[in-house]
Amino acid sequence: MKKILLACLLIVLSINLHAQTDFVYKNIDSEKACRYWVESKLESLTLKQKIGQLFIHTVAPYTTQQNKKNIEDAVKEYGIGGLLFSGGDIDKQVELTNYAQSMANIPLLITFDGEWGLAMRLKGTPSFPRNRVLGCIQNDTLIYEYGKEVARELKEIGVHINFAPVADIDNNPKNPVINTRSFGSDREQVANKALAYSKGLEDGGILAVCKHFPGHGDTEVDSHKALPVLPFSQERLDSIELYPFRKAIEAGVGGIMVGHLNIPLMDNKAASVSQAVVTELLKEKMHFKGLVFTDALEMKGISNNPYVSAQALAAGNDMVLAPRNLKRELDGVLKAVKEGKITEEEINEKCRKVLTYKYAFGLNKRPSIEKNGVMSRINKAYTNDLIGRIKKSAVTVVKDSDEMLPLDLTLSGTVVLNVSNTLSETYPFFNEINDTYPVTWLHANLDSLQSLRNRITPAQRVIVAVYTSKVEKYRKVLLELAKGKPTILVCFNSHKVLQKLNDVVAQSSAVVLAHSDEKYIQKFVAGMLIGNQRVDGRLSVDLNDEYKAGSGVIVDPDKPRRYKPEEFGMDSKVLSRIDSIAEYGIKEGAYPGCHVLVWKNGYQVYNKCFGNHTYESDREVRENDLYDLASLTKTTATLLAVMKLYDEGKINLTDKISDYVPELKSTDKESITIQQLLYHESGLPAYLPFYKKAIDPKSCKGGMYKKYKDANHKIKVGNALYVCTNFEFLPEWVSEKDSAGYTLKLSDGIYIKPEFKNVILKEIADASLKGHSYRYSCLNFMLLKEAVENISGMPMDKYLEENFYKPMGLVHTLYNPLQRYGKDDIVPTVKEDFLRKGPVHGYVHDEAAAMMGGVSGNAGLFSTAKDVATIYQMLLDKGVMGDRRYLTRATCELFITMKSKNSRRGLGFDKPDADKPGNGYCAPETPASVFGHTGFTGTCAWADPDNDLVFVFLCNRIYPNPCDRKNLMKLKIRPAIQQAIYQAIMK
């Protein structure tokens, strides 16, 4: 009978295992072995011992006999499931951990409260910045590295669970307890960074616990002292407080901590003891399957409740943390079970879940930590390097209103004024600048205010370096100074200190928030000022009403200086008309945001971003945001490769494409030449719906398309054309799982086999031709991509990276950008509920390119305005950029000047219509020499050899639905901007 019962329980556990988070799956080698161990242990425990497994007991970090007796009682008598140490030093914690584990019947979960690493609780350990500082970082890969490093350190001291990260949004400046513990006030930034940190922890083998559910950011009461209230609507909770937790759950994070917060909308209880919050909201509505912990039950926001542990477990929590009286609380749970307030089966399920996680941590065997050398194992050189990289990445240029940064080193008369407690702490900053660029050094503490005024008066500009937090007495003189001459304010202190100088910030020409004053940070900031370091940090929370969260200026030593247009014979007032044209496009719904860039003679004369990523988002467009270039890929990718191969004599314009694409042999495409493909005179159709070959035709009720909308055809894909929405992919080509063979991604959660490329090539080979007159076709450049790869022996994206993008420093130009960048760095392209079944964000929009795995000759490249302009400037400069030649002069001249006799098309490039000026995508004033291209997503780039001019326009005009977004062309936004550029050229 016992065997039958155990077999049944194993089946139940198997179901539960599959309901756990990714963490369990990644850390269990054998489900069968796990199930057996869990059930055998569960069967061996009494009800009281099962309850004990659900308790995490807090102990002091002392090795006294009394403290050891406390640990022994908790482990042996009460059979607790885990321990939380309250601080101290590493050696004592390791000793006590080994002591506790040696006595445990079932090894203990060792937990830690390390929101910013071990240094939050343990002396002598690596000190990482607070989350508010981390929120300024734009590269979330660093946050992931940080999480993984903290995981490594925690494992060295035997810890399994870290009660971090804080996923609360810091949107209330009066919050007394969250503030710097949060990643910031922007929900996307908080969610992204909480996820990056969590993934780092869990990839490193430590369970991450996001807290404090459902959100502790917008409160003015400290739950350590009283019970805060969240008096918000469901809509507000869903859009703000719950947002980071929802993202964490969707990503499979393993733990969540429920805070002591009251939500009147739910009930009148603290969330940590509320079934409406824990079970109905977190577990049922939000589908969280991981471990649910209470916040510490000794906190005054909840501790006055009698038998609070029983209430917390009845509400749905899996483990209770740090109750004040362990014996009383355990007895209270046992009493609740006997009274039917909690069922024994509920206790079994919770205990089974805890034991499953213990097995995932390897606690089916008794652990032991090597105490000798533990400090040196934790404090590695790599750790200090990582801390340095993190702190440097958080440096933020809040403003640079006069475009002073990097400094013009040809100007003399600069004074550095230090506001600090001692002279010595300011040496690194001053010396780093002075070694390159002689400056005058003044110290506010040593000079009287009047003396400072007298010595600063002759200066051309002033750099104010603030170190001390006691800045009030200097405010008046600093404000007077900033009003009188160009001033750069550098704060080597916290955000809070900079806020004390808000009036000085308003008057300063440039403001830098460095967050700290370590020597290497001072040198780094000095390096940025003199043009040796790049800074791209952004405020994680508001500084004031003008400089909100997300504010920040990129200072890049490689970034072209913004010159006054008049220096290059252009009228800045006329050029400024671009502002109103771009903004008009947003107002009329032509696009949610855009980026406009103009270079003259190789120098930047106009560069502005407008609007947001999407209509529903408040994420502003920034200079380094990546756009889906669509058909602009043809000239910024495929054509470059063709020109390079032509340069090397490996391909000729008169060559037959079938010489390089054997699939076209013995077909009517065999004689098509490279030149015909570049001119779009191959006769190939404009487009082929390759995706139909990946769809099961039997699943399309009523056929693939209909001219009207019905229950099975809900998505509009053209004028009076609707597509089947309830189709199924053919499993021989497409899978919704990342499994063997399905290695290319169509979008999130949809994968395709790379062999589908053969289907595409066969479809092209079988397509009908229509003479050799002009007909624009994406198939032409898809074939050119195949030729490039077959000739070079390399994937085209790798070929371009090696020969162009990497040596040119185009770090923001690539196919499949999610391999390097987060979604916050990429502008969403479209909402596509047909093929991709959701938002297309970070994946190419073009279906043909998507079916090729994102790398195609017709589309697929993502880039920024600056990178696109750099490519076109290189072509204008006849193949040269900097001190390196990428293409020969002859090749560049041939490709940018040669034009078809049958159309306006050049060799791969589009050109103005000389017969009908202003007809098409260019302004009437555009010279015939101009070359460039446009993209379906709304992008364009045009280069003008006559005027040495480059114009780039990037937008996502098809968002959210390409069928409803035609205003960009109707309003002629791009030609109007181009017209303003030509009208600005002074005759």
User: Which residues are designated catalytic?
Assistant: 224, 295
Distance (Å, whole) CA 245 – CA 208:
12
Cβ neighbours for 754, distance < 8 A, ≥ 6 positions apart: 743, 744, 853
Distance (Å, whole) CA 818 – CA 745:
11
Element (H, E) at 142: helix 140-156
Residue 563 C-beta-side C-alpha neighbours within 13 Å: 16
CA angle (488 as vertex; 485, 490 as ends), nearest 5: 145
Say if CB 830 and CB 823 are below 8 A apart.
no
Distance (Å, whole) CA 750 – CA 851:
11
Burial label, 454 (beta-carbon count in 10 A; 0-12, 13-18, 19+): exposed
Distance (Å, whole) CA 518 – CA 50:
50
- E-state strands within 682-732: 705-706, 713-718, 721-724
User: In DSSP terms, which residues pair with 953 in a beta bridge?
Assistant: 596, 940
Say if CB 624 and CB 822 are below 8 A apart.
no
- For 321-337, the three-class secondary structure string (H helix, E strand, C coil) is ECCCCHHHHHHHHHHHH
The 10 Å Cβ neighbour count of residue 264 is 10
Query: What secondary structure letter does DSSP report for 829?
Result: -
State phi, psi for 595 to the nearest 5 degrees.
-135, 125
Tokens 């002392």: give the residue.
62
End-to-end CA distance of the chain: 99
Residue type, 202: E
Q: Which of 321, 187, 206 is nearest to 254 (CA)?
A: 206
Tokens 């082929």: give the residue.
688
The 10 Å Cβ neighbour count of residue 819 is 9
The 10 Å Cβ neighbour count of residue 65 is 8
State phi, psi for 734 to the nearest 5 degrees.
-125, 140
Burial label, 705 (beta-carbon count in 10 A; 0-12, 13-18, 19+): middle
Distance (Å, whole) CA 527 – CA 436:
9
Residue-level length of the chain: 987
For the chain, helix (H) and strand (E) counts, in that order, are: 36, 34
The 10 Å Cβ neighbour count of residue 164 is 28
Tokens 């999480």: give the residue.
147
